[in-house]
Amino acid sequence: MRWSKLFIPTLREIPAEAEVVSHQLLLRAGYVRQLAAGVYNYLLLAQRSLKKIEQIVREEMNAIGGQEFFLAALNPAEVWQESGRWELMGENLFRLKDRFGRDLALAMTHEEIMTSIARGELRSYKQLPQIWYQIQTKFRDEPRPKSGILRTRQFLMKDAYTFDLDAEGLDTAYKLHYGAYCKIFDRCGLKYTVVEAHSGAMGGSQSNEFMVASEAGEDLVVRCTNCDYAANLEKAVSKASAPGAADPEGDLTPEEFHTPGQKTIADLAKFTQLPESSQMKSLVMVADGAPVLVMLRGDHQLSETKLNETLGVTELRAAHAQEIVEWFGASAGSLGPLGLKKKMRVLADLALQGRRNLIAGANRDDYHFRHVTPGEDFEPEYFDLRQVAAGDTCPKCGAALEMFKAIEVGHIFKLGYKYSESMGLRVLGEDGREITPIMGSYGIGIDRILACAVELYHDKDGMALPPQIAPFQAVITPVNYAESLQREAADLLYAECAQAGIDAVLDDRDERPGVKFKDADLIGIPYRITIGKKLSQGKVEFLERRTRTSEEVLLAGAIPHLKKKLWMPLL
């Protein structure tokens, strides 16, 4: 393509609304333009790049036997009502009415639709397994779209769904996807970590996320510095650091003492001269309307995700100040597990198991107990409820854990029977009995891959995308295209690229060289062949964007050289 004919609206300055790097560069480099909060138009460059990503995804999905569909984005409410998600998804689901007043939704994911196809058509065990996927636009009415194209209300996703006869089949499907995803992200040139994940509102058991480390990420990932343990913070477990002080020995009796104005764990630690790890934190949560007391080591944080999963409830929140006074006769800051006025479940984090003679609130304002021993002075139900904290060690090998922010680019789930059951998908088995197929669900954020690549590979001059997903593989830049010798050489190289199947752009603009160089750097074309002064010696400059290494090559050798580079992946 000839640059002079292309619409590549690069900006010299950073639009004020862009905060994260990928957003800034995608705007500046003329890839995207924003239409509304969380809604973007993808222009030529973004579209070319996304098509390449899609193609990689498509090839790897087809390689594991995936069959590509193109599904309805406009869904009747009934399908979502059947699975129960019409209510469950709440405000996140875009809803609309047609002219007759019928309820419709814009699909945010396609479990229901895929299942509705399957139940109408799959009749025999002989037809299983199936892997169906789609690459399409999805809609989600995000409460807060942000970070450019990282969290939007309209986005591109590949999602796949599998139908199997039994758990073993699902396991096979899961592993196939796991492998395919690794190949996909490798081919896209991303550096990523596979983590254990929480399966969320999707339901299901096993789940892994594919995460790309980035400051722009919204998730926190915990990873062992020694072994292969890695998990989303929501799910991560660890060995707690040792308490800051040894517990007093002996079978001591709880003893109330006056703690005027000591509200927080930090206050108490100071007041009692004992570290936060010798205090017990009492949190009051309301789970589907019922109060639950959660006990944690003073320096630990509650993981609401874990608590939610443990309790298996739909609504979980912290208790209001008023409720606390009503139930405990004291306010937050003096609460504890002893002498509860109201009957409620008392849970404790595993880190409290075996501890002795700790400090806890007395359920009387400005009073606490010392010498409280869980399991003796009160009987909690123990669960893993705390969030992994800095200083904790690996649950597998005991080595140090690291924690970093990451962007989720892929997520695979074992769904189980949630949709096949609720929507009545059955096939006949070998023995003539009905079988409910078991499902899996596997997503990849196509536009997130692009954003991640930008986050991962950029410098002060712009993007440095991997050649596999860059909008063009190379740019041919004659310093002065009006000069006939340069023009001939440029046209020749461009023709050679076309012949070799290389996706090149010819910068034939009547611009000063500086402008062309800046633009090529900004939009991140991996290789640049510059035709200038040295042409008189039959030489051109070959530049690698990522490393900024430049070499002189013969005009005739330029394209073979480029070809060689393209077969050799960066990194």
Residue 158: what are its φ and ψ, rounded to 5°? -100, 125
Q: Closest approach of Cβ 154 to RNA, in Å?
A: 12
Angle at 286 between CA 285 and CA 292, to 5 degrees: 60
Number of residues forming the site for RNA (CB under 7 A): 62
Q: Closest approach of Cβ 535 to RNA, in Å?
A: 7
Q: Which residues ranging from 75 to 104 are in contact with RNA (CB under 7 A)?
A: 92
Q: Is 244 in the site for RNA (CB under 7 A)?
A: no
Please pick, from the candidates 14, 290, 321, 554, the single residue that binds RNA as defined by CB under 7 A. Answer: 14
In DSSP notation, 239-304 reads: BPPPPSSPPPPS-PPPEEEE-TT--SHHHHHHHHTS-GGGBEEEEEEEETTEEEEEEEETT--B-H
Nearest CA to 443 out of 265, 209, 191 is that of 209
Q: Is 144 in the site for RNA (CB under 7 A)?
A: yes
| x/- track of binding to RNA for residues 282-321 (CB under 7 A) | ----------------------x-----------------
Please pick, from the candidates 34, 279, 303, 357, the single residue that binds RNA as defined by CB under 7 A. Answer: 34
Q: How far apart are CA 569 and CA 571, in angstroms?
A: 7
Element (H, E) at 418: helix 418-422
DSSP three-state, residue 187: helix
| x/- track of binding to RNA for residues 194-213 (CB under 7 A) | ------xxx-----------
Q: Closest approach of Cβ 110 to RNA, in Å?
A: 10
Please pick, from the candidates 295, 360, 522, 525, the single residue that binds RNA as defined by CB under 7 A. Answer: 522
Q: Is 109 in the site for RNA (CB under 7 A)?
A: yes
Q: Is 445 in the site for RNA (CB under 7 A)?
A: yes
Nearest CA to 185 out of 411, 434, 487 is that of 411
Nearest CA to 549 out of 533, 563, 570, 519 is that of 570
Q: How far apart are CA 458 and CA 25, in angstroms?
A: 9
Angle at 309 between CA 336 and CA 435, to 5 degrees: 150
Q: Closest approach of Cβ 514 to RNA, in Å?
A: 2
Nearest-10 crossing angle of helices 484-500, 558-567? 40
Please pick, from the candidates 78, 98, 218, 551, the single residue that binds RNA as defined by CB under 7 A. Answer: 218
Q: Which residues ranging from 147 to 166 are in contact with RNA (CB under 7 A)?
A: 147, 151, 157
Q: Is 37 in the site for RNA (CB under 7 A)?
A: yes
Q: How far apart are CA 218 and CA 408, in angstroms?
A: 8
DSSP alpha helices (H): ranges in 282-414? 304-311, 321-328
Please pick, from the candidates 521, 546, 553, 562, the single residue that binds RNA as defined by CB under 7 A. Answer: 521
Q: How far apart are CA 520 and CA 509, in angstroms?
A: 12
The CA R_g of the chain, rounded to the nearest whole Å, is 29
| x/- track of binding to RNA for residues 367-406 (CB under 7 A) | ----------------------------------------
CB distance 295 to 349 below 8 Å: yes
Please pick, from the candidates 245, 485, 500, 515, the single residue that binds RNA as defined by CB under 7 A. Answer: 515
Q: Which residues ranging from 476 to 505 are in contact with RNA (CB under 7 A)?
A: 479-480, 482
Angle at 334 between CA 330 and CA 340, to 5 degrees: 60
Q: Closest approach of Cβ 553 to RNA, in Å?
A: 11
| x/- track of binding to RNA for residues 446-465 (CB under 7 A) | ---------------x----
Please pick, from the candidates 5, 12, 99, 433, the single residue that binds RNA as defined by CB under 7 A. Answer: 12
Residue with smaller CB distance to RNA, 251 or 315: 315
The token pair that represents 235 in the structure block:
């799910």
Residue with smaller CB distance to RNA, 355 or 509: 509
The token pair that represents 251 in the structure block:
């079978």
Stretch that binds RNA, among 7-15, 292-300, 325-333, 351-359 (CB under 7 A): 7-15
CB distance 178 to 459 below 8 Å: no
Please pick, from the candidates 2, 4, 19, 288, the single residue that binds RNA as defined by CB under 7 A. Answer: 19
- Give the Cβ contact number of residue 76 at 10 Å: 14
Residue with smaller CB distance to RNA, 218 or 402: 218
Please pick, from the candidates 519, 526, 527, 546, the single residue that binds RNA as defined by CB under 7 A. Answer: 519
Q: How far apart are CA 81 and CA 422, in angstroms?
A: 10
* Amino acid in position 284: V
Q: How far apart are CA 280 and CA 360, in angstroms?
A: 5
- Secondary structure letter of residue 352 according to DSSP: G
Q: Is 550 in the site for RNA (CB under 7 A)?
A: yes
The residues of the shown chain that bind RNA, judged by CB under 7 A, are: 10-17, 19-20, 28, 34, 36-38, 92, 108-109, 138, 140, 142-147, 151, 157, 200-202, 218, 304, 408, 411, 413, 443, 445, 461, 479-480, 482, 510-515, 517-519, 521-522, 530-534, 540-541, 543, 550
